[in-house]
Amino acid sequence: MGFRTISTKGKHILLNGSPIYLKGISIHEESLLRARRAHSLEDAKDLLEKAQELGCNYVRLAHYPHNEHMVRLADKMGLLVWEENPVYWTIDWENETTYKNAEHQLSELIYRDKNRASVIIWSMANETPTSNARNLFLKQLAAHTRKLDSTRLISAALEQKDYQGNTEIRTIEDPFADVVDVLSFNEYIGWYDGLPEKCSRITWKIDQDKPILISEFGAGAKQGLYGTIDERWTENYQEYLYVETLKMISKIDNVQGMSPWILIDFKSPARTLPNIQDGWNRKGLISDDGVKKKAFFVLKDFYLKK
């Protein structure tokens, strides 16, 4: 049994009243080496032990409620947890049935895990473009969450954008940023947006006086494929992107943690690049057959020095 408080003050996340830097990784509910849903205690142990080996004190369980083994074991191992409601991209925001579905799933998650000391953040959504209907949808979810559980932090993986048309200054312009306790966003500078060297030219204008978690960043790499730092899909490219991204992120004053994408390569049938993806998302720091890529050790070293 564990007791703890989680709160924020200015840019800080406070665990039992003391500032903490969340050294995390995003995790899908997919079993290492088995290419199936991670539904057993053994699966949870595989995943969370790899996160601890990486130097994590925190994990983001994306993008839906994971099985109960994960949070029970996180309690036992002393890992902090972000849990997420499956509100993703562009759903039917104006459909009342859709909202009720989202509210029901979130309620079930909170009822199940509200006594888990490991759980510190309820995430409302992932990468949802702003609109009036979407803003109302998420605000209702946040209000419902606070009614059910006022002891934890609320966040969502938002999107960043150019500041006043300047592609080298980034900001968060999202009404939901005023609702959350922790400002989180996904960014893929150097992968979907230029090359890794672009990170050195990016500055951030973030006016919200809140702690920031970088909920996602990363690049795809086929384990065992090597080349120059400018050759996509090589371990060298992924490693270089991590080096440059960590430098960039470290310059953002309010950043209090991160959960790069992602711990392990996972099945993704839409990823069809022959001899590279072959139905897998290759952004893992560990390959689908359990081999650590070069970027794993870059992030591990960064965390060990924090």
**The domain spanning residue 298 has which CATH number?**
3.20.20.80
In a domain, 222, yes or no: yes
Give the domain extent around 246: 21-304
In a domain, 233, yes or no: yes
User: Does residue 86 contact residue 63 with C-beta atoms inside 8 Å?
Assistant: yes
In a domain, 109, yes or no: yes
In a domain, 8, yes or no: no
pTM: 0.97
User: Does residue 223 contact residue 287 with C-beta atoms inside 8 Å?
Assistant: yes
In a domain, 16, yes or no: no
User: Does residue 81 contact residue 118 with C-beta atoms inside 8 Å?
Assistant: yes
In a domain, 242, yes or no: yes
Count of structural domains, the chain: 1
Instruction: Name the strand (E) or helix (H) holding 166.
Output: strand 166-171
- 6-46, pLDDT tens digit by residue? 999 999 999 999 999 999 999 999 987 777 888 999 999 99
In a domain, 169, yes or no: yes
Q: Measured between alpha carbons, how far is 265 from 77 in angstroms, rounded to an integer?
A: 23
In a domain, 3, yes or no: no
- 154-201, pLDDT tens digit by residue? 999 999 999 999 999 999 999 999 999 999 999 999 999 999 999 999
